[in-house]
Amino acid sequence: MTQACQCRPCRAQRAFRYWGRRLLVGVVVLTLVGSPLLGLGVLAQRAIFPPERAVWFANLLTLATKANLAYQREPAVDGRPRDWTEFYEQVKEIVYQIEEENASLQLVDPTGFAFVDYGPGRRSAVAGSYSSVRGNIVLNERFIQAAWGDQSFLSVLIHEIVHSQGYFVGTSETLESQTEIVATEVLAAMANLNYPGARRELLDGLRRDALTMAYYLARFDGDPHHTTYGAYPVASPWNDGDPDLLAEWERVRASIFTPAELARSDKRIRWWLERPEEYVQVLAKYVVTTTTMELDAACGSGRIGENFLQYDYLGIQDQLAWDRASRTWVMAPFAAWGDIIALPPLEMDDLAYVLGGLGYC
């Protein structure tokens, strides 16, 4: 059976019917937190605190502060599209930007999009997901809700579109961190090219990620993580963290966030601390490894120090599938994937440009 209709709205509707069957990879958005300098001399005297962690903690609070100052100067532009036409234009631009960054050797058009209700609990945790089987993307319907006030729509959309280029090789830790690092550089490229809302969202993400990683170091005795391959440094979800560092972190966060942002941040942290083991994993995967490697590259050699991986895309192929609604076997389109491609090290030049402009590196 061939597909009767290849138009994007039709494909989106089809994807909506099938989205729930198989989801592989997702992104968890942390609406966490928000920094003046710490006295490095004081920290260096703390024997229980590894030197690298102390340096990173101080640098992260500096980055959060500088990113916030720039964020406050940005006009409040909403990066979300107003209709499906604008949405698909945005998708097309993102696919091209991924290719321009040399982050993909192939241009893959996702087969469909839908906004979905993930249900209680997951609604707060999961921002979007990509099915490598169907080739479609679903996004949390909360992005439609003004009350969520979520500025991370563009980042999440880019993240899922990076997955759709074949970024799902390896463990969840490896593939999610690689996907998110590419997404950050693509967002930085779009910010430098002046796509509406991109710079504001990038700066908002930088201040939040810097605060979040600083929190991870202070609260869970975490450490920077310089590779997407290999295990995380051990961080305990059950200890109480370092009271002095947490106090410093609280002070900086309060200087950055508005009272409304602070209340929301506290609520989000409270929600996550009810799931401490998942929280540590999520922070490590989406914030700590990614922020460490992004700053290593952007403030260092300019490129990521490892090769990211993608699957070769073979196209959509019809295969037999069980249709639960009609309880019959039907031919249905599936995405087919081939060999693993090792990509050249990602250049973080656009992020470096933004961080240079902030006076960070």
Q: Which residues are at the interface with Zn ion (CB under 5 A)?
A: 25, 27, 176, 179
Q: How far is the CB of 89 from Zn ion (least distance, A)?
A: 23
Q: How far is the CB of 286 from Zn ion (least distance, A)?
A: 8
CA distances from 65 to 16, 145, 206, 312 (A): 41, 28, 10, 41
Question: Which CB sits closer to Zn ion, 176 or 242?
Answer: 176
Question: Which CB sits closer to Zn ion, 49 or 153?
Answer: 153
Alpha-carbon gap, residue 253 to 247, rounded angstroms = 10
Alpha-carbon gap, residue 147 to 202, rounded angstroms = 21
Q: How far is the CB of 178 from Zn ion (least distance, A)?
A: 9
Q: How far is the CB of 63 from Zn ion (least distance, A)?
A: 23
Alpha-carbon gap, residue 304 to 287, rounded angstroms = 16
What DSSP designation does 287 have? I
Question: Which CB sits closer to Zn ion, 136 or 179?
Answer: 179
Q: How far is the CB of 25 from Zn ion (least distance, A)?
A: 5
Contact 110, 351 (CB under 8 A): no
Question: Which CB sits closer to Zn ion, 257 or 279?
Answer: 279
Q: How far is the CB of 53 from Zn ion (least distance, A)?
A: 27
Residue 279 sits at the vertex; the CA angle it makes with 347 and 133, to the nearest 5 degrees, is: 60
Question: Which CB sits closer to Zn ion, 66 or 163?
Answer: 163
Question: Which CB sits closer to Zn ion, 70 or 287?
Answer: 287
Q: How far is the CB of 176 from Zn ion (least distance, A)?
A: 5
Question: Which CB sits closer to Zn ion, 137 or 298?
Answer: 137
Q: How far is the CB of 293 from Zn ion (least distance, A)?
A: 16
Listing DSSP states for 35-88 in one string gives -----HHHHHT-TTS-HHHHHHHHHHHHHHHHHHHHHHHS-----S-SSHHHHH
Contact 131, 108 (CB under 8 A): no
Closest CA to 125 of 25, 213, 30: 30
Give percent helix, percent strand, percent coil of the chain, each to the nearest 5.
Answer: 50, 15, 35
What DSSP designation does 153 have? H
Alpha-carbon gap, residue 202 to 190, rounded angstroms = 9
Question: Which CB sits closer to Zn ion, 68 or 136?
Answer: 136
Residue nearest to Zn ion (CB): 27
A 10 A CB-CB count for 305 gives: 13
